[in-house]
Amino acid sequence: MSRTCGRIGQYVLVLWVAGTLNFALPRLAPGDPVAYVYGGDAQALSERQLAALRETFGLDRSLAEQYAGFWTGLLRGDLGTSVQDSRPVVDVLAERLPWTVALVGTATALAFVLGSLLGAWAAWRRGSKRDAAVTSAVLAVDAMPGFWIAMVAVAVFAVQLGWFPSYGAVALDGQGLGAAGEVVSRMVLPVATLALAGIGGFFLLARAAMVGVLDEPFVRLARAKGLRESRVAVVHGLRTALLPVFTNLALAIGALLSGAVVVETVFAYPGLGSLIFEAVTVRDYPLLQGAFLLVTVGIVGANLLADLAYPLLDPRLRRVRAPRGTQLRQVVVRG
Amino acid sequence: MNRRLMPALLTCVLLAGCAVGSGAAAPGAGRGDGGQTGPAAAQRLTIALAKDSGPLNIFADQSPAIDELVYDKLLAPSPYVDQPRPWLATAVRQLDPSTWEADLRDDVRWQDGERFDADDVAFSFDYFKKAPTGTYTHHVSDVPTIETITALSPTKVRFVCAFPCPELGTVTLADLPVIAEHIWAGVPPDKAKQVTSLPVGTGPYRLVSYDSAAGYRFEANPDYFAGAPVVQELVMPVISDASATFPALRSGEVDATTRPLPPELIDPFTSSNDVGVVKTAPLRFPELRVNYDRAPFDQPAFRAALSRAIDRDQLVAVVGLGKGRAALQGYPHPDAPFANPTLSTPYEPEQAREMLDQLGLVDRDGDGTREGPAGPLAFTILANGAAPQDVRSAELIAEDLREVGLGATARGLDAGSVADVAKTRDFDLVIGAIGPHGAADPTQFIMSHRSGYLWRAPKLPYPEWDALFADWKATTTVEDRLAVLDQMQVLFNRQPTSIPLYYPDEYWAFRPDRFAGWVESPGYGVVHKWSLLPPQVGRDAGAVVAVGR
């Protein structure tokens, strides 16, 4: 318990540092919202009117006051009002979050499952022509930029074949099952693009880990016992090899909340990635702070969960409570 | 990946995507020549918007072509035509140099059923004075300065200006939308930007839903005073990236877009069987802004030399792919109603060299770059790095300047940083773009000299300009004002602080099988209310011009 509390304390500290950085980063970039929102017309405003606008955006206060306001607002659950949308940041983020979770979450899950299975399969047949072919193909896809895959997908599957819509997440007037079907069909191309773009990492990790595991004595023992090849591969090999892949998955889940800027842009998908991109462009400080905070919480939370989950996945990392008066020791279980 | 390759790569894929499946139509077979054929009415159109303007709060964000689906103005269609005609007003007249009266229609209702009257007009102009918008503010609080707006009766309103305001009837009343008093009276002006409820106007369409994920949905106003629209429903998703917009148009998912075709897509789309293309002459242009606060750009003769050193023919050929005109008539746009037709800003590099020599800016050490009192004359040309055309323009201009012995380097920044350096004036030269409001509105031309954009009068000394401005203020008729404006334009282009690069043509793609009633309204492209109203309405209002000019 004390170890868990210590970990949580570390993460609170990390969140504070990250929150401070979230506050500082948007302000380190040149410009402020008034400059962008009003563009050239900002120069048509009088000093009094500009001052009123700066007051509206809270830019008339000192940096220290803004920082204090940021934290007090945060503690109240108030992330401020978006400069661009004139709506509470929480509402804007809540509107976009489900789309990103659905899009990036589905794509990450697909990439994880396919990448891991393909990697394990390639490792099982390491050195064969099939291994070389699959590895080359995955590496080739991995080398392609996401936007390239996205645009080719649109050109082929939306424009030429007309199988899937090319943009957006939802029809404006959809209702019921039809609307759900519309959402799914609009998700196909961006999910496929993101999954393809992300499969390489999982594949390579799974393959490398599996290759290492397959030389372990416990795998040889499993074979020697006469177990089916598939059982040896999946139960004894893949399960053990998945730990580094799981670490990669935890990182991907953490980054999930930052969206997928390029793919969301190409598919005009209303996720957090495109929102953050627009917010950076207009220097929407409150929205940037809120979005960065969400991303930070996502990454820190995913790391915390990974930390806590490792011992469940790998018995070698479990600690056992020793009898009073003795020191804790790590129990190492092989195979 | 190499940054230089990225735009080329994107363009190739975009071209491939957009060209896929296009038929091999015979050139000129009714495409791109303005002679489009197809339905003149539609039940529903899907139009891709290039940007999300939120719930159309005109105090927070202005997209005039879309805003004016909901709102109307006293005169139509805009300040970008010679003589706007009565719209919500039935007549406007100048009683004396500083006083105007407008008679209003008595058959107009707001979209919520309330009756429109003179109190709404008086309230609107008064509210614009109190709620800063940037775009509209100067029209009521500076040039001109409207001191009082009085509703004399339900159908008559009087405007009194602080000094003669003959352009009220050609510019101001054709520029400001009228808002509903019963909606906005309860909103303190300093909170106007925060309103997120859907707008209520008198216009031909009512915004019935807005969702940042799905976009906008408008329904036709069947009781519109000028006649019911020919398209019953407009669905407008926001597709902010060109690489998504045009494939969606090509696949038939959208029927039109508020984004003009990029030059590289004009030919593939024009030769397509499925897509129609019309050409318009937009009142906008890319410009090179010159920081007149910083030496040596603070010297009129240096700015004059700079203007002569830039090869605009090359810019339109290379950057604009030949789709437009070289900007050899300076600022404003030559199609603006107040443009002086005699303006000339030629490319004369030899003369530029002579002018620089006469300023004592010569290359003393023989390294190819002239020296000034503070050392070598080397400048940075800033551009929005996300806009490949701007970056290429900056590179070409840098080459032109080096040809006359001025060191110059192109540098890309993100859009927010470009806006910031423009505001703080922390630049030598920066590539920008100016739209109809700046390029074709005569009062904005004056205002731009007072706001800091083109000059900062009267704080920054400019005796010649100040004298012309005094003359301008003293004139009492539109004709006299235009005469002074002619002189102002000559003065400006002799020593410009903004150098137009080229006047681009705009090409608009649409699905002619769904709707082909698109017409051009100056400064608005083709997606605007005049395309969606019965054709005679736009013609009677003097709001449209033939496309494909």
- Per-residue confidence (pLDDT) for residue B154, from 0 to 100: 97
Task: For chain B, state the CA radius of gyration.
Answer: 24
Using the CB atoms, write b or e for B192-206: b if 16+ within 10 Å: bbebeebbbbbbbbb
In this complex, which of B211, B241, B453 lies closest to A40 when CB atoms are compared? Answer: B453
Structure tokens at B287: 């410009």
Residue A91 lies in a domain: no
Which one of A88-102, A215-229, B262-276, B370-384 scores highest in mean pLDDT? B370-384
Count of alpha carbons within 13 Å of B548, Cβ hemisphere only?
Answer: 14
Distance from CA of B88 to the nearest CA of A (A): 27
Q: Which of B439, B408, B293, B304 lies closest to B359, judged by CA?
A: B304
Q: Is the pLDDT of residue B227 over 60?
A: yes
Domain end marker among B145, B170, B194 = B194
Domain of residue B328, CATH code: 3.10.105.10
- Per-residue confidence (pLDDT) for residue B287, from 0 to 100: 97
Domain of residue A132, CATH code: 1.10.3720.10
Q: Is the pLDDT of residue A193 over 80?
A: yes
Arithmetic mean of pLDDT, B87-116? 97
Q: Is the pLDDT of residue B3 over 60?
A: no
Q: Which residues on chain A are in Cβ contact (under 8 Å) with B193? A: 56, 86
Strand arrangement of the beta sheet that strand B429-434 belongs to:
B407-413, B378-384, B429-434, B285-290, B498-500
Q: Are B64 and B56 in contact (CB under 8 A)?
A: no
- Interchain contact B434–A (C-beta under 8 A): yes
Q: Which of B522, B486, B528 lies closest to B506, judged by CA?
A: B522
Structure tokens at B475: 């004139």
Together in a domain, B359 and B214: no
Residues pairing with A174 in the sheet: none
Q: Are B279 and B34 in contact (CB under 8 A)?
A: yes
Residue B245 CB partners (closer than 8 Å, separation 6+): A167, A268, B48, B50, B239, B254, B257, B259
Residue A158 lies in a domain: yes
- Per-residue confidence (pLDDT) for residue A266, from 0 to 100: 87
CB pairs under 8 A between A and B: 177
Sign of CA dihedral B2, B6, B7, B12: positive
Give the structural domain span for B235. Answer: 36-56+203-275+511-540
DSSP B96-160: ETTEEEEEE-SS-B-TTSPBP-HHHHHHHHHHHHHS--STTTHHHHTSSBEEEEEEEETTEEEEE
Structure tokens at A248: 């990669």
Residue A297 lies in a domain: no
Together in a domain, B44 and B96: no
**Which chain B residue lies closest to A92 (C-alpha atoms)?**
B212
Q: Judge: A159–B251 Cβ closer than 8 Å, yes or no.
A: yes
Q: How confident is the model at residue A131 (pLDDT cuts 50, 70, 90)?
A: very high
Three-class SS state of A295: helix
Q: How confident is the model at residue B4 (pLDDT cuts 50, 70, 90)?
A: very low
Residue A321 lies in a domain: no
Phi-psi region of B25 (alpha: psi -120 to 50; beta: other; left: phi over 0): beta
- Per-residue confidence (pLDDT) for residue A259, from 0 to 100: 64
Structure tokens at B119: 């109190």
Q: Judge: A40–B14 Cβ closer than 8 Å, yes or no.
A: no
Domain count, chain A: 1
Domain of residue B134, CATH code: 3.90.76.10
- Range scoring the smallest mean pLDDT among A119-128, A290-299, B160-169: A290-299
- Interchain contact B447–A (C-beta under 8 A): yes
Q: Which residues on chain B are in Cβ contact (under 8 Å) with A156? A: 20
CA distance B538 to B544: 6
Structure tokens at B96: 């004396």
| pTM for this prediction | 0.83
- Interchain contact B260–A (C-beta under 8 A): no
On average, the pLDDT of chain B sits at 90
- Per-residue confidence (pLDDT) for residue A322, from 0 to 100: 54
Q: Judge: A86–B196 Cβ closer than 8 Å, yes or no.
A: yes
Distance from CA of B415 to the nearest CA of A (A): 6
Phi-psi region of B315 (alpha: psi -120 to 50; beta: other; left: phi over 0): alpha
Residue A90 lies in a domain: no
Q: Which of A291, A129, A314, A311 lies closest to A240, judged by CA?
A: A314
- Interchain contact B452–A (C-beta under 8 A): yes
Other beta carbons within 10 Å of A288: 24
CA distance B234 to B237: 10
pLDDT by residue (tens digit) across B28-42? 333 333 456 889 999
Q: Judge: A31–B423 Cβ closer than 8 Å, yes or no.
A: yes
Q: Judge: B247–A173 Cβ closer than 8 Å, yes or no.
A: no
- Interchain contact B228–A (C-beta under 8 A): no
- Per-residue confidence (pLDDT) for residue A39, from 0 to 100: 53
**Which chain A residue lies closest to B420 (C-alpha atoms)?**
A31
Together in a domain, B359 and B245: no
Structure tokens at B80: 């970008």
Q: Judge: A39–B434 Cβ closer than 8 Å, yes or no.
A: no
- Complex-level ipTM: 0.73
Structure tokens at B190: 């300093």
DSSP B157-193: EEEEESS--GGGGTTGGGTSBP--HHHHTTS-GGGGG
pLDDT by residue (tens digit) across A231-272? 888 888 888 888 888 888 888 887 777 668 888 888 989 888
Residue B28 lies in a domain: no
Structure tokens at A163: 């199988």
In this complex, which of B194, B252, B253 lies closest to A167 when CB atoms are compared? Answer: B253
CA distance B490 to A269: 48
CA distance A67 to A119: 47
B412 versus B62: the higher-pLDDT residue is B412
Q: Are B56 and B71 in contact (CB under 8 A)?
A: no
- Per-residue confidence (pLDDT) for residue B10, from 0 to 100: 46
Together in a domain, B344 and B389: yes
Residue A325 CB partners (closer than 8 Å, separation 6+): none
Distance from CA of B368 to the nearest CA of A (A): 34
Residue B113 lies in a domain: yes
Sign of CA dihedral B165, B170, B173, B175: negative
Widest Cα–Cα separation across chain A: 86
Arithmetic mean of pLDDT, A307-325? 69
In this complex, which of B135, B243, B245 lies closest to A151 when CB atoms are compared? Answer: B243
- Per-residue confidence (pLDDT) for residue B23, from 0 to 100: 35
Q: What percent of chain B has pLDDT over 90?
A: 77
Together in a domain, B80 and B115: yes
Three-class SS state of B252: coil
Together in a domain, B458 and B317: yes
Together in a domain, B78 and B126: yes
Q: Is the pLDDT of residue B27 over 60?
A: no
In this complex, which of B54, B216, B420 lies closest to A30 when CB atoms are compared? Answer: B420
pLDDT by residue (tens digit) across B458-484? 989 999 999 999 999 999 999 999 999
Q: Judge: A166–B253 Cβ closer than 8 Å, yes or no.
A: yes
- Per-residue confidence (pLDDT) for residue B132, from 0 to 100: 73
Together in a domain, B479 and B533: no
- Interchain contact B279–A (C-beta under 8 A): no
Arithmetic mean of pLDDT, B488-504? 97
Q: Is the pLDDT of residue A174 over 70?
A: no
Together in a domain, B45 and B105: no
- Per-residue confidence (pLDDT) for residue A254, from 0 to 100: 73
**Which chain B residue lies closest to A149 (C-alpha atoms)?**
B13
- Per-residue confidence (pLDDT) for residue B33, from 0 to 100: 39
Q: Judge: B21–A40 Cβ closer than 8 Å, yes or no.
A: no
Structure tokens at B59: 């105090």
The angle formed by the CA atoms of residues A117, A119 and A123, to the nearest 5 degrees, is 115
Q: Is the pLDDT of residue A151 over 80?
A: yes
- Which of A34, A36, A43, A278 best probes binding to B when mutated, by most B CB atoms within 10 angstroms? A43
In this complex, which of B20, B212, B451 lies closest to A270 when CB atoms are compared? Answer: B212
Q: Judge: A268–B237 Cβ closer than 8 Å, yes or no.
A: yes
pLDDT by residue (tens digit) across A152-163? 999 999 988 999
Domain count, chain B: 3
Task: For chain A, state the CA radius of gyration.
Answer: 25
Residue B145 DSSP label: B
In this complex, which of B196, B252, B447 lies closest to A44 when CB atoms are compared? Answer: B447
Please give the helix or strand (H or E) that residue B235 lies within, else none. strand B231-236
- Which of B3, B5, B11, B13 best probes binding to A when mutated, by most A CB atoms within 10 angstroms? B13
Please give the helix or strand (H or E) that residue B422 lies within, else none. helix B415-424
Residue A214 lies in a domain: yes
- Per-residue confidence (pLDDT) for residue B529, from 0 to 100: 97
Together in a domain, B176 and B216: no
Residues pairing with B115 in the sheet: B109
- Per-residue confidence (pLDDT) for residue A42, from 0 to 100: 46
Residue A67 lies in a domain: no
- Per-residue confidence (pLDDT) for residue A212, from 0 to 100: 87
Q: Which residues on chain B are in Cβ contact (under 8 Å) with A81? A: 194
- Per-residue confidence (pLDDT) for residue B468, from 0 to 100: 97
Residue A301 lies in a domain: no
- Interchain contact B291–A (C-beta under 8 A): no
Site of tokens 């401005």: B469
CA distance B142 to B97: 16
Together in a domain, B143 and B42: no
Q: Are B118 and B151 in contact (CB under 8 A)?
A: yes
CA distance B385 to A260: 21
Count of alpha carbons within 13 Å of B302, Cβ hemisphere only?
Answer: 20
Q: Judge: B247–A283 Cβ closer than 8 Å, yes or no.
A: no
Q: Is the pLDDT of residue B260 over 60?
A: yes
Q: Which residues on chain B are in Cβ contact (under 8 Å) with A280? A: 414, 416
Q: Which residues on chain A are in Cβ contact (under 8 Å) with B213? A: 95-96, 99, 168-170, 270
Give the structural domain span for A188. Answer: 98-280
Arithmetic mean of pLDDT, B54-66? 89
In this complex, which of B10, B194, B215 lies closest to A172 when CB atoms are compared? Answer: B215
Q: Which residues on chain A are in Cβ contact (under 8 Å) with B57? A: 86
CA distance A328 to A3: 12
Q: Judge: B253–A281 Cβ closer than 8 Å, yes or no.
A: no
Together in a domain, B476 and B424: yes
Q: How confident is the model at residue B341 (pLDDT cuts 50, 70, 90)?
A: very high
Q: Is the pLDDT of residue B386 over 80?
A: yes
Domain end marker among B169, B194, B219 = B194
Q: Judge: B209–A81 Cβ closer than 8 Å, yes or no.
A: no
Arithmetic mean of pLDDT, A46-53? 68
CA distance B179 to B199: 9
On average, the pLDDT of chain A sits at 82
